[in-house]
């Protein structure tokens, strides 16, 4: 593909993409690990007696909160480290 046939427009900044995605993987591991631990801890703290379902329900709620945190992180990181230029 030469310059005459190359698509005009934005160029992807791979260094920024890799930086944000690497940080998202690291932070995501911490956020989702904390979400599962918090579900278990709150279920035991408040003696939720729904069997395994109470623990899993709280873990799912915290997991969804973790998804919101990660989406907000990536959106804010893209503002600081733009993925494209041009």
Token pair for residue 8?
A: 């005009």
Rounded alpha-carbon distances, angstroms, from residue 11 to 5, 22, 32, 53: 15, 20, 32, 48
Q: Cα–Cα distance between 61 and 25 in angstroms, integer?
A: 20
Assess whether pLDDT exceeds 80 at residue 52: no
| pLDDT tens string 19-40 | 999 999 999 999 999 999 998 8
Q: How would residue 55 be classed by pLDDT, with cut points 50, 70 and 90? A: confident
pTM, 2 dp: 0.76
Q: Cα–Cα distance between 17 and 36 in angstroms, integer?
A: 28
Q: How would residue 54 be classed by pLDDT, with cut points 50, 70 and 90? A: confident
**CB contact at 8 A, 39 and 59:** yes
| pLDDT tens string 65-84 | 999 999 999 999 999 999 99
Q: Cα–Cα distance between 41 and 55 in angstroms, integer?
A: 9
């Amino acid at each position: 593909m030469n310059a005459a046939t190359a698509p005009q427009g934005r160029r992807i900044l791979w260094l920024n993409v890799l930086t944000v995605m690497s940080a998202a993987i690291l932070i995501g591991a911490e956020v989702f690990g904390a979400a599962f631990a918090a579900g278990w801890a709150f279920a035991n703290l408040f003696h939720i007696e729904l069997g395994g379902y109470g623990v899993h329900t709280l873990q799912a709620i915290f997991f969804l909160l973790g998804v919101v945190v990660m989406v907000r992180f990536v959106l804010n990181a893209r503002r600081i480290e733009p993925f494209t230029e041009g």
